[in-house]
Amino acid sequence: MRGKTNEALDQAGRVQVAYKHLELTATAAPVAHDPLTEAAPFTIRTTEMESSQRREEGTPIFDSLDIDLVVKVLANTAFSPFFLFFVPTFYVFQGAKFSDNLVVASAIYWAIITTFWSFKWFSRLYRNQGSLVLRPPPLDWSEQIVVVTGGASGIGELLANTLAVRNVTVVVLDINPIVTENYNVTYYKCDVSKWEEVEAVSKKILEEIGEPTILVNNAGVVQGKLILDLSPEDIQQTFAVNTLSHFWVLKAFLPSLLKRKSGHIVTVSSAMGLTGAAQIADYSASKAAVIRLHESLRYELDKKYKCPQIRTTLVCPGHVLTPMFRTVKFSSSALFRFFCPSIQPVAVVKRIIAALDDQYSEDIFLPFYTNFIPYVGHLPSFLRDFVQWISGADYAMESFVKISGRRPDESPLSEDLRKQ
């Protein structure tokens, strides 16, 4: 099943890149036919396009050389109970006695690591009412109807196209149409920040498509302004799209899931919902509210609606290389990129599909450093400020330009940014 997911992601990724090239070609300025006067500019545009493509797609080796790769390797070697079991066994087979220090130390280390993973395993089973010996039956993707908000770009677009390649019925809600050639993706124009539009579209979906089984609340917008520079319209848009839209989608579609007593709700928040930084206050606050909504929803499903079989997954990614945060600037040092890497949308989509496939409720934090963000606030103030300074979060938005989610009352985007 995971192999099929990877194959579908590769296909959707290639389609996405082709669409991006078509968009660039369609929106670029006309190119004159004089090779002497236009050769250099064309070369520059081609180079910029290839450079942009490399940034969005990533390079196969060096872009993956970061702390996350190291953690993956260690998780399957130095911190793997299966692997560590053979270490003391190897010493014994080589003639060492059971009382030898190497055998005892390696056995104790194996016991500690095994206990840690056992606690994580039991915690997951407890949260999902799982069996000690049996896995849930495989998810029948052909029977699923997936609603994705904000599915016209970024993570939502890749997720919708990837699921569609797997012949899943996908419904995209967005103010802009999704670029796709998959026949099983249905687009409904809808401003999910407005309850009236969500309510009207939900009735159409129930009549024309059917009752959704999976909800992915993914729509988002960022302003990138200081608090005093935010207009009332900016603040209203941020909270309407990032927070209120989650409520509207739940109000519209949760009754269908409750009736079936099954389903999956994916809440896409952000690592910035776990902390704060300069020039992103409205975004951080809206994403923090979504995290609390996710937690409250989990307990309402368990305690009030008696539907623990409806799974809930929270996604808190760090910086994702999508158009929304394209103009954010982080440190270019190799050390920073190693410990705090930006991630491709495909990494987020893989984790979301894996959670849906497993049919378990879980919290997804990626890349690896985001797992420690909730604990930073407990540090002494001088260490807290040092971590903030190291991250560069307070300066990352200084040259930020809002690309996606621009309102009609905002000034038009520059030609250079539209071509990127």
Q: What is the mean pLDDT of residues 224-231?
A: 95
β-bridge mates for residue 215, sequence order: 147, 265
Is 375 one of the annotated active-site residues of the chain? no
State the greatest distance between any 2 C-alpha atoms of the chain, in Å, as a whole number.
84
Whether the predicted pLDDT of 8 surpasses 60: no
Residues 12-40: tens digit of each pLDDT = 554 444 444 334 333 333 333 333 333 33
pLDDT value at position 132? 76
CATH fold of 142-406 reads Rossmann fold (3.40.50)
Q: What is the mean pLDDT of residues 220-225?
A: 94
Whether the predicted pLDDT of 58 surpasses 70: no
- The mean pLDDT of the chain is 85
Q: What is the mean pLDDT of residues 73-78?
A: 94
Residues 285-307: tens digit of each pLDDT = 999 999 999 999 999 999 999 99
Residues 226, 282: Cα–Cα separation, whole Å: 9
Q: How far is CA 266 from CA 117, 197, 214, 356, 415, in A?
A: 25, 21, 8, 9, 35
pLDDT value at position 250? 97
Residues 324, 294: Cα–Cα separation, whole Å: 23
pLDDT value at position 413? 75
Task: Read off the pLDDT band of 204 (50, 70, 90).
Answer: very high
pLDDT value at position 369? 95
Whether the predicted pLDDT of 5 surpasses 60: no
Q: Which positions ≥6 away from 130 have C-beta within 8 Å?
A: 124, 136, 360
Q: What is the mean pLDDT of residues 235-244?
A: 97
Task: Read off the pLDDT band of 420 (50, 70, 90).
Answer: low
Classify burial at 315, counting beta carbons within 10 Å of its beta carbon; exposed 0-12, middle 13-18, buried 19 or more: buried
Active-site hit among 283, 305, 375, 395? 283
pTM above 0.75, yes or no: yes
Residues 30, 21: Cα–Cα separation, whole Å: 15
